[in-house]
Amino acid sequence: MLPEEKYILLMEAAYTATDKDTYYKLMQKSDQVLKDTHITVDNINAEAEAA
């Protein structure tokens, strides 16, 4: 599953959550997916610049 797909699934689950605690946990997970993806892209770019 692509990070973008995982993000969308987590966001959809968050919006359908019945309580605030679940909503916030799912939102945090979706945010972490984006952060992890961004860090990976930054690392790839840094390696490309070093080469």
Q: For residue range 1-50, what is the model confidence (pLDDT) as tens digits?
A: 888 899 999 999 999 999 999 999 999 999 999 888 877 777 777 778 88
CA–CA distance, 5 with 47 (Å, rounded to integer): 26
| pLDDT at residue number 5 | 94
| pLDDT at residue number 25 | 98
30: CB partners within 8 A, 6+ apart: 6, 7, 10, 11, 14
CA 24 to chain centre: 14
Domain-wise residue ranges, the chain: 3-50
Find the DSSP H helices in the chain: 3-16, 20-50
| pLDDT at residue number 42 | 77
pTM above 0.85, yes or no: no
